[in-house]
Amino acid sequence: MNTDFANDVIEGLSSKKKHLSSKYFYDDIGSRIFQEIMNMPEYYLTDSEFEILSLQAKQIIAAVNFDTPFNIVELGAGDGFKTFKLLEYLVNNEIEFHYVPVDISQGAMDSLTKKLKEKLPNLSIHPRVGDYFEILSKENVQTDIPSLLLFLGGNIGNYPEKEAVNLLQLFNDNMKKGDALLLGVDVKKNPIIVQNAYLDKHGITKRFNLNLLLRINKEFDGDFKVDDFDFYCHYDPISGDVKSYIVSLRNQKVALKKLDVMVDFKYDELIWTELSKKYSLEEIDVLAVQSNFKVVNHFLDCKHYFTDTLLIK
């Protein structure tokens, strides 16, 4: 049994304000549903970051300005769809580097490795499956050669601001002087655009959230009935917080037999599942200072919806 997941489920569902961590969305089915989310036209984050990495790979690598060879360590690599453009630029220009994708999802890592081996046969790739917190602090992903860490897709927005600073500081602690971090951040914008990306009319984000209940059923012999739950999310344009929730549609009891737990849900009770925080460029500058990085540049897409911000230690 995955004990971290078990402990977090017990703690989260027995709290007064129920919550589950979004990192558990990504079992193999969840990773596939997330790819569907990324393909929705409303989910501007993918197109914006894809544009940045397609059109500005050369400028990003010039700004990094490393001697070769160097490492590219990608934290939470997922399907690597956007990173591919950066890797392709480097391979096509015969710039010597090693790619180390890290992800908690074995399925995501297997399909990424297979795809990259086919598309970029000359790529030096060293995948790691596991929690990036543990891999960063326990394993030696860093070597003598310079490293560029990638934390893309707006993942940083999944952490409340204080935890985001702690996470960036953890990255910083595991970097050598002169190493760089390319940080994907979703930028504050017209709230309707943000709201439509998360409360999508296709119901894919709802399916993504409810899959977490199905995952709990599978792993802990639970009896969640997904039709008795709904999905809601809300964007607050002042704080920049998108908060996502699962909503109980009736008073109900759910048994998690393997955990020996019975969870009571009241009518309309919420489980908070995800934070997706948006930042202004000035707020990103503050995050960087608080975690002891220097901002080299904000690489923005043409609509200024998203930034891949280059930070240096």
Ligand X SMILES: C[S@@+](CC[C@H](N)C(=O)[O-])C[C@H]1O[C@@H](n2cnc3c(N)ncnc32)[C@H](O)[C@@H]1O
Q: Please report, as ranges, the residues that interact with ligand X according to CB under 6 A.
A: 23, 26, 31, 34, 76-78, 82, 102-105, 108, 131-133, 152-153, 155
Calculated CA dihedral for residues 166, 292, 168, 36, nearest 10 degrees:
140
Structural tokens at position 184: 């994907």
Nearest residue by C-beta to ligand X? 153
CB of 76 or CB of 222, closer to ligand X: 76
Judged by beta carbon, residue 61 or residue 136, the one nearer ligand X is 136
| Alpha carbon separation from 255 to 50, 105, 115, 120, 258 (Å, rounded) | 43, 26, 40, 47, 9
Q: Are 295 and 308 in contact (CB under 8 A)?
A: no
Pick the closer one to ligand X by CB: 55 or 289.
55
Query: Which one, 159 or 232, has the nearer CB to ligand X?
Result: 159
Q: Is 87 exposed, middle or buried (0-12, 13-18, 19+ CB in 10 A)?
A: buried
For the CB of residue 188, give the shortest distance to ligand X in the complex, in Å: 19
CA distances to 77, 78, 240 from 132, in Å: 10, 12, 25
Helices 83-92 and 106-119: crossing angle in degrees, nearest 10, is: 30
Beta bridge partners of 101: 74
Q: Which is nearer to ligand X, 248 or 276 (CB)?
A: 276
Closest separation in Å from C-beta 218 to ligand X: 17
Q: How far is the CB of 276 from ligand X (least distance, A)?
A: 9
* CB 48, min distance to ligand X, A: 11
Q: For residue 157, how many other CB atoms are within 10 A of its CB?
A: 21
Q: How far is the CB of 246 from ligand X (least distance, A)?
A: 18
